[in-house]
Amino acid sequence: MQPIKNIFFLIAVLFVQTAFAQGDLPGSQVDVVKSFNARLNITEKVDVTPTLPALDTTSKRQQYNVVTKTIQVEYLPPKIKPLADKTETLQKKYDGYLKAGVGLPISLYGEGSYNIINKKDKHRFGVDLYHYSANNNKNIENQKFSDTKGEVNGAYFFDQGFAVSGLLGYETDKVHFYGYNDLNKETGTNFTFDPTDIEQRIWTLYGKANIFNGERMALDFNYDAGVDFYLLQDSYAAKERGFALNIGATKWINEKHPLNVKLVTDFTTYNVDEKATLNNFSLAPNFTWHQDRFKVKLGVNIATNEDNFSFFPDVEANATIVEGIVTAFIGANGELYKNNFKHLSDYNPFIESKVNIKNSKYLQYYGGVKGNIRGIDYNAQAGYKAVDDLALFQLSAQEDSIARFDVLYDTATIVYFKANLSAPIVKGLKLTGSISQNIYSLNNEAKAWHLPAFSVSAGARYRTEDQKLLVKADFFLENGVPYKDINGKAQNLNGLFDISLGGEYFFTEKIGGFIQLNNLASNNRQRWQRYPTLGLNALVGITARF
């Protein structure tokens, strides 16, 4: 309060001083004649009505350039697989995993992968390793095999909008020609061999390199150019090398109609006692038109080998019958398929080292339905194939102690049917199934030697919501393939009946264990004459993810 009092005191002193200063003014008298009366003159009211400016009715088109990245995804070539999978709860992602196990008969299994992807998506790098070997020598002399494979892959996305990717791998497959054991049973002979005398090992070095647009281009144009190569050699001096140049481009019209063109030059050189070549060239343009309820692709595949031209259709029409439930499709296509030593030995590991490499010419017409019914994805297809030089397999000599297969070719027609489905039953549980039937008609041979005609597969997978437990079961059924017996008569080998069970459980977030039981029925079918498969076999091991 004291400061306030001081302020009032100072103000009072100032007023007092002012009052004393007025004392020197002269005195006078003022007479008031009339009181002041202020008036305003009368004015005219001006009305102002506000108006809005004229509307701008001109239409303007806004254009947006959205830059996206194109990521290459490589897939293993499917045989018969479900049409699609329903989206599941996303699992936590790990950079790498490792599986290692042992089994019976004496087996060693290992598999691992590690991938590095930088946060800005500029590059990615990965390493994949695989090994599986088994030795059943205790039950069947020299029945043993091994498969070892390693790959490195990577990609880099440049700021200029293009990207490069590459892959380099090495694989070695080893089998033994243990078919003499079956010959001993059939003829009463007593052949026996040291493992090194009947060993077949195939080494393959392979790789690929690509350049492609890593971002969407202004003209909706995509491109991809690359090379594939492999170098192969076996234990019996067979050598083969392959080189392919692939160039592809896509122009999107109205962002939904792709115009594609692909050029492939594929060279193969095969050498045992003398050199053989198999060089194919193909040009395949096509255009696909999309509408709400239908899609049509029109194209052609022009292929040539040794100046012989082949023209194959590449057409397909899809029509939605019931939205999201039934889509019908019909089409036709064709190709030249290389029966080189690599493809033949991948299919039949017991073939001769010296074979006749040749193209198979396929022309196919097909139709079917696909869709989804109450969560069940399905695809059913029937068709007709005309094949020039279909590859068949026969033993080079029925009574040869080292049983190896030769390749023979015949003109054939194939009427086929195949179907598959995928059904999520409850959360975490999914069932899959497939069936296929081929009916062969050949010009010269009595049967399609060693080619299966009927197969069925079914599988079940259950994974708990916490992702710790996985349980799976598989069933496989296949007819016995036809072959010529020792008297030259057509016979059928025993069929395939295989039931397998497996499971995996993570004890901690990153460490778990697995078990796999294969061929519970111990079905020793001969997929290839004189070569029975493994009976009941099992693997057990650990799993790590990091």
Question: Which three-class secondary structure state does DSSP give residue 196?
Answer: helix
Per-residue pLDDT, 28: 41
Per-residue pLDDT, 120: 72
Whether residue 352 lies inside any domain: the answer is: yes
Whether residue 78 lies inside any domain: the answer is: no
Q: How many domains does the chain have?
A: 1
Distance CA 115, CA 71 (A): 15
Task: Answer whether residue 402 shows pLDDT above 70.
Answer: yes
Per-residue pLDDT, 14: 37
Question: Which residue, among 467, 472, 545, has the nearest Cα to 510 in the 3D structure?
Answer: 545
Q: Are 183 and 401 in contact (CB under 8 A)?
A: yes
pLDDT, tens digit, 9 for 90 and up, residues 374-391:
999 999 999 999 999 999
CA dihedral 344, 538, 109, 74 (to 10 degrees): 50
Stretch 399-426: mean pLDDT? 97
Whether residue 103 lies inside any domain: the answer is: no
CA atoms within 13 A on the CB side of 497: 6
Question: Which residue, among 324, 342, 158, 107, has the nearest Cα to 244 in the 3D structure?
Answer: 342
Distance CA 302, CA 226 (A): 20
Whether residue 257 lies inside any domain: the answer is: yes
Whether residue 359 lies inside any domain: the answer is: yes
With a CB cutoff of 8 Å and minimum separation 6, the contacts of 420 are 80, 81, 82, 83, 378, 379, 432, 433, 434, 435
Per-residue pLDDT, 51: 43
Per-residue pLDDT, 469: 97
Stretch 267-276: mean pLDDT? 96
Alpha-helical (H) ranges within 22-88 are none
Per-residue pLDDT, 249: 97
Per-residue pLDDT, 8: 41
Q: Are 385 and 361 in contact (CB under 8 A)?
A: no
Task: Answer whether residue 245 shows pLDDT above 80.
Answer: yes
Distances (CA, A) of 192 to 53, 176, 181, 198: 105, 12, 8, 10
Whether residue 533 lies inside any domain: the answer is: no
Whether residue 336 lies inside any domain: the answer is: yes
Give the percent of the chain with pLDDT over 90: 78
- Average pLDDT of the chain is 87
Q: What band does 6 get if pLDDT is binned at 50, 70 and 90?
A: very low
Whether residue 227 lies inside any domain: the answer is: yes
Q: Sign of torsion, CA 530 536 541 546?
A: positive
Q: Which tokens sit at 546?
A: 């990091």
Give the percent of the chain with pLDDT over 70: 83
CB atoms under 10 Å from CB of 459, counted, come to: 17
pTM of the model: 0.81
- Name the residue range of residue 292's domain: 216-373
Distance CA 141, CA 181 (A): 7
Distance CA 435, CA 437 (A): 7
pLDDT, tens digit, 9 for 90 and up, residues 138-189:
999 999 999 999 999 999 999 898 999 999 999 999 999 999 999 999 999 9
Q: What band does 91 get if pLDDT is binned at 50, 70 and 90?
A: low
Stretch 31-56: mean pLDDT? 42
More confident residue, 187 or 219: 187
Q: What band does 119 get if pLDDT is binned at 50, 70 and 90?
A: low
pLDDT, tens digit, 9 for 90 and up, residues 491-519:
999 999 999 999 999 999 999 999 999 99
More confident residue, 218 or 76: 218
